[in-house]
Amino acid sequence: NSDTALYHAKERGRNNLELFAPVMTRQVSDRLLLEGRLREALKRGEFELYYQPQYDFAHNRLTDCEALIRWNSPEGMVMPDTFIPLAEETGLIVPIGAWVLQEACRQGEAWNRVSVEPLSVAVNVSAVQFRPALVSEVQAALDETGFDACLLVLEVTESVLMSDIEGSVQLLQELRELGVRVALDDFGTGYASLAYLKRFVLDKLKIDRAFIMGIPDDKDDVAITSSIIDIARNLNIMTVAEGVETEAHCAFLRKAGCNLAQGYYFDKPLPAEEFMRRLQ
């Protein structure tokens, strides 16, 4: 329980992984400390992007990937779910997000210089970053790295778009005018209705892992997943299945006409060097 956790945190001192307990249960002093550590981490270059391959069902080829941030803290690797929420609350996600964009574009450009087939790179964009200034941040990352805009995918969630519908429609349009593509992440878990698939001009839908998990035994998950794939196909939107973990998931998705698969069945998120070996 939280008393015990706090006791252990005090007992062991502040310089250990207790600092990375969930944001909700963290003490104010711990939050301030973690905020300071995040700020330092950016300056010291402790963030790293891992890349998880996405495979195209039609050609059985690695065509896309998603960049996922990791923090190599002095106490070990810290996962994004642990620090992104606090980075969002404190606004630190803005400089961290700008770094992610730059780094993903730099790496994407380097890979595409040596790769025969084009490789797209997807970047997660938080609600705090999704504002008019994002357009110039994306433009700057493209300009400074020379990365081809059409190979950059921005992943946003339903709740990001729904919080200001008119603003989102406008911003999505400006982003797509830069030539970048937009994916709706974790689709099916938010509260966007199907009508918004028409309002928001999207290139890709990522079907949330929660639905893929139930395939093929859960009849509801099967129905929901195949319906999403059908609707997306009719709207000319590509589908990406998240959390593909088994042969059965794969067989079903291929048959249902899903375009891309991402998950542990193929690869975990990989450090850049390992990803490069996969690419080759």
Q: Which does 18 bind (CB under 5 to 8 A by kind): ligand C2E, Mg ion, none?
A: none
Shortest distance, position 173 Cβ to ligand C2E, whole Å: 22
- Out of 111, 240, 243, 275, which residue is the one contacting ligand C2E (CB under 6 A)? 243
Residue 121 near residue 105 (C-beta atoms within 8 A): yes
Is 3 an interacting residue with respect to ligand C2E (CB under 6 A)? no
| 3-state secondary structure (DSSP) of residue 238 | strand
Question: Could you tell which of ligand C2E, Mg ion, none binds residue 52, using a CB distance below 5 to 8 A set by kind?
Answer: ligand C2E
Residue 263 C-beta: closest distance to Mg ion, Å: 11
Helix, strand, coil share (%) of the chain residues, nearest 5: 50, 20, 30
- Using rule CB under 6 A, residue 124 touches ligand C2E: yes
Residue 79 or 201: the one with the smaller Cβ distance to Mg ion is 79
Residues between 156 and 185 that touch ligand C2E (CB under 6 A): 185
Which of 172, 176, 154 lies closest to 164, judged by CA? 172
DSSP letters along 30-73, please?
HHHHHHHHHHHHHHHT-EEEEEEEEEETTTTEEEEEEEEEEEEE
Shortest-Cβ-distance residue relative to ligand C2E: 263
Under DSSP, is residue 158 helix (H, G, I), strand (E, B) or coil?
A: helix
Q: Is 64 in the site for Mg ion (CB under 5 A)?
A: no
- Binding residue (CB under 5 A) for Mg ion from 186, 203, 245, 274: 186
Binds ligand C2E by CB under 6 A, chosen from 17, 58, 79, 194: 79
Single residue of 52, 112, 124, 168 touching Mg ion by CB under 5 A: 124
Instruction: Give yes or no for residue 53 binding ligand C2E (CB under 6 A).
Output: no
Q: Does 269 contact ligand C2E by CB under 6 A?
A: yes
Q: Is 245 in the site for ligand C2E (CB under 6 A)?
A: yes
Looking at residue 154, what DSSP letter applies? E
Q: In angstroms, what is the C-alpha Rg of the chain?
A: 19
Phi, psi (rounded to 5 degrees) for 40: -65, -40
Question: How far is it, in rounded angstroms, from Cα 131 to Cα 108?
Answer: 24
Tokens linked to 258: 């899903």
* Strand ranges for 162-226 from DSSP E: 181-187, 204-207
Do the Cβ atoms of 150 and 181 come closer than 8 Å? Answer: yes
Out of Mg ion, ligand C2E, none, what residue 30 binds, judged by CB under 5 to 8 A for its kind, is: none
Place of tokens 């200001």: 164
Quick one: CA dihedral 171, 173, 174, 175, positive or negative? Answer: positive
Residue of the chain from 4, 29, 45, 81 that contacts ligand C2E (CB under 6 A): 81
Interaction of residue 185 with Mg ion, rule CB under 5 A:
yes
Which residues of the shown chain bind ligand C2E in the complex (CB under 6 A)? 52, 68-69, 79-81, 84, 93, 97, 100, 124, 126, 155, 185-186, 209, 242-245, 262-264, 269
Which residues of the shown chain bind Mg ion in the complex (CB under 5 A)? 124, 155, 185-186, 242
